Chain A
């Protein structure tokens, strides 16, 4: 193998698994250390700079970081990153004065944001401090988009949502609420320099089975029903409720039903339990509220008697996987099952819908009726129109929408300044030694063996009685500290200097997880078989040095490195050093420079 190029900003970025997996690349270990140091306000700002909604995401994020967490490869469970984010948000002090100010004098450019969800709000936050005049349009009476309409209050209290939405709206954003934009043509005719579309994926899928029309009064579309509950239009539901679908929306629907009068609420999925799309922790929360999940039962027919829904007939199937792992659901031949229901909620997915964009404006649409959008610039085929969030490439999640928003804001800014939107700014990176003295590092390098801490929940009876009572109560400060200490500090990198190495093997001998090997070089596939411990996780890189005096190379398998610093500690020549790598995605406007404002 060629020597690893650690000058490439992506190499060490990839080692910080959580940050790399986060669509917005939030510097996770950095804010976790700040939490451990009780510097909650700065921890919040590190988050806010990157993911814009720390309090919201600390409760509702899809957590792509957690399955990526290195700790999950060393013991059973990853660090509770999401819940730590909430610790920062819950314990912060005043933050407004730390946020960038918005100039009184505008720069003369006008931007329209269609949709008031996370993508649009991110664009607004990134552009407002630059003096843009920003107009935000939303059909509802408040900002937040799907975070308000689709996430129930027992998971996300309205006060948290309002606070973080207002941080942005208070930056002088011109809001046009209760305004459904009906024609893109009309928007284009106005004097906007650029238009950003962040309208999400607003169309819940329906299920056209026999009886669907006759039972319409008691059949609801998941996301529409959740929105109606959120705005107080719907306040009750029948005693017996069936939820069709196995995603997070289904979980929100069943738990909301329990709070609106549903005593006997069932989630029924057509495929196996293990294939459910919902996050494991949301499934657990639903089960804790006495909601059974029945699997391998595709619905066949809505049964209607005297014009009223009586229930659903389900078939029974088994999942068969072919040699490529492709699944087919084969009827088992067992008799169909009838399950009674007063109400049915269909939560089987959602689609994009752009009935308001005329198709002759130069905005091309492609597969699935999605707009043709550049994956890097988020620009559509009409140069002043940009898309982001679920509206760009189909349903994802809040943190992805935020990541899109940052990039779209950069493009809008470049476009308005007449520069090429492909002229993307490089990430901000920094690599600094953490050595403070003999056996002394500026981070807590000892690796604790604590298991993941459990988060307290509200009493079930209390929670089920009121849909606005938050269920998860979050970690208190002492638990937050202990959970924070589980973080392995993967951003503190093991940096190897070939010219200093005397090949004494001290690092190889001390490494607790046998990551380091000195051996003859070879191709990656071959090298992986010759290391001290198996290097089977090919998603994790091998760090290879230049040739050493004996002709061998140092090979470090990054996979299960504990970042404990013992290699550097035992190295007599400081050929190894522990250096903190900071990677920040550059934003359209500087929001918070970690190196200068909150480094730890």
Chain B
């Protein structure tokens, strides 16, 4: 038995701005099946956090139940984490976020965890625009219970045993657009060049950032006739645009051709560059995003990339006008401001 990850790393591994190597963002060795798309997404998260020079202790990973929700063990070992009840991660994330707004919240969920048991939680987190990244590792099946079709399996898609799925799929992207999500993207686990900048952009977005990542289940849902298989997704992949994320204060070194590109500036000064834009689509126009999505669906394409972003997103804390610092930093002075303050408050109700 040799399931031990060696301690040695590449001796010339570069360091990021805060002095960490990519290896410092790794987690324990994965116990998922070899070739699982989820592991690639974990790899992309590690890469994104390394590139963004995130201090590991300033990030919290949250998950529910399922193969997808096991993955937080496999990345960011030095970050905070909470493994919630099945489908209940959005509540935990909302609560944690209310208590400490200074952390980056990275929610990891699956198609079962979000589109079935946790649907009620999922939609409310979107509605409240909780400031978090919400990654759905979407494989269209229940891998942990031997591969039954999930609610996101496409109609007509074949399972491992060859049976056809008779029910229409829930499209989390369409639903999020409908619910007013402020950042919506879709990607594919096998395309890190797109996924890494998308995660980086999502982490910099103030508000709920949904990334629906098609992630093939190699063991139970990887027949070429399955619409969530490596072969099928690669054959039907259609990207809205290639994406490039430039963090704040970094010089832009790429030339983006006029007309076929767009820049979206985020609140912190970082910029998302999109090039090779699909016609009739504007990333900041929700209506065009919905249209583009439907159009792709009719053509049988798997549309990936950033679909919609609201640069003026107002996250939950702004909407609730909450205190600007984490609750655990509030001391007696702030919590018991004295009778004078009480009088002022009472006076305001008179």
Question: Residues of A at under 8 Å CB distance from B?
Answer: 73-75, 439-441, 444-447, 449, 502-506, 508-510, 512-515, 533-534, 536, 549-550, 560, 562, 564-566, 569-573
Contact = CB atoms under 8 A, between A and B. Distances in A.
Given A504-B37, A572-B34, A566 B1 contact: no
B190 to A, nearest CB: 6
B349 interface: no
Nearest to A444: B2
B39 A560 contact: no
Nearest to A535: B12
Given A504-B216, A550-B234, A447 B8 contact: yes
Given A503-B230, A504-B37, A506-B36, A560 B10 contact: yes
A570 B5 CA distance: 11
A513 B23 CA distance: 9
Nearest to A513: B10
Contact of B13 (A514, A550, A564): A514
Nearest to A536: B12
A504 to B, nearest CB: 4
Contact of A560 (B2, B11, B37): B11
A73 B30 CA distance: 27
Contacts of B219: 572
A269 B230 CA distance: 67
- Measured as residues with beta carbon below 8 angstroms from the partner, the interface class of chain B is 35 or more
A73 B5 CA distance: 18
B230 A562 contact: no
Contact of A534 (B4, B12, B234): B12
Contacts of A565: 2
Classify the secondary structure of B's interface with A: loop
A514 B14 CA distance: 12
Interface string B180-224: 000000000110100000000000000000000000101100100
B35 interface: yes
B117 to A, nearest CB: 27
16 contacts: A75-B8, A439-B3, A440-B1, A446-B4, A502-B35, A504-B37, A505-B43, A506-B35, A506-B36, A510-B30, A513-B10, A550-B234, A564-B5, A565-B2, A570-B30, A572-B33
Given A505-B43, A505-B192, A506-B40, A573 B35 contact: yes
Which of B8, B11, B30 has the most chain A CB atoms inside 10 A of its CB? B8
Nearest to A447: B6
Contact of A509 (B3, B13, B40): B40
A341 B64 CA distance: 82
A508 B192 CA distance: 11
Contact of A445 (B2, B33, B36, B43): B2
Contacts, number: 107
B71 to A, nearest CB: 11
Interface of B: 1-14, 22, 29-30, 33-37, 39-40, 42-43, 189-190, 192, 216, 218-219, 222, 230-231, 234
Contacts of B11: 73-74, 560
Nearest to A533: B10
Nearest to B75: A509
A503 B254 CA distance: 28
Contacts of A572: 33-36, 218-219
Contacts of B3: 439, 569
Given A439-B2, A504-B216, A505-B190, A571 B14 contact: no
A515 B8 CA distance: 12
A564 B234 CA distance: 30
Contact of A449 (B8, B10, B30, B43): B8
B190 A504 contact: yes
B9 A534 contact: no
Contact of B9 (A502, A503, A510, A514): A514
Which of B14, B33, B34, B222 has the most chain A CB atoms inside 10 A of its CB? B34
Contacts of A566: 5-6
B23 to A, nearest CB: 8
Contacts of B34: 506, 569-572
A505 B46 CA distance: 14
A506 B11 CA distance: 22
Contacts of B6: 446-447, 512-513, 562, 564, 566
Q: Sorted from nearest, which 6 A-B pairs have the closest CB atoms? A: A572-B35, A447-B6, A509-B43, A570-B34, A533-B10, A445-B2
Contact of A504 (B4, B8, B14, B35): B35
B2 A449 contact: no
A73 B14 CA distance: 16
A446 B22 CA distance: 22
A441 B35 contact: no
Contacts of A74: 8, 11
Given A534-B14, A570-B35, 8 more contacts: A74-B11, A449-B8, A504-B218, A506-B39, A509-B42, A510-B29, A510-B39, A534-B10
A313 to B, nearest CB: 48
Contacts of B7: 447, 449, 512
A533 B13 CA distance: 6
A504 B230 contact: yes
Which of B1, B6, B9, B42 has the most chain A CB atoms inside 10 A of its CB? B6
Contacts of B10: 513-515, 533-534, 560
A566 B4 CA distance: 9
A192 B174 CA distance: 92
A374 B286 CA distance: 79
Nearest to B26: A512
Contacts of B30: 510, 570
A443 to B, nearest CB: 9
A181 to B, nearest CB: 53
Contact of A510 (B1, B5, B8, B22): B5
A562 B40 contact: no
A456 B220 CA distance: 57
A565 B9 CA distance: 15
Nearest to A73: B11
A506 B33 CA distance: 10
B40 A504 contact: yes
Nearest to A568: B34
Contacts of B222: 502
A549 B230 CA distance: 11
A446 to B, nearest CB: 5
Contacts of A508: 43
A533 B30 CA distance: 21
A571 B36 CA distance: 9
Nearest to A572: B35
Nearest to B13: A533
A73 B12 CA distance: 10
A565 B230 CA distance: 24
Given A505-B192, A510-B30, A513-B8, A439 B1 contact: yes
A111 B219 CA distance: 66
Contacts of A510: 5, 29-30, 39
A503 B35 CA distance: 9
B39 to A, nearest CB: 5
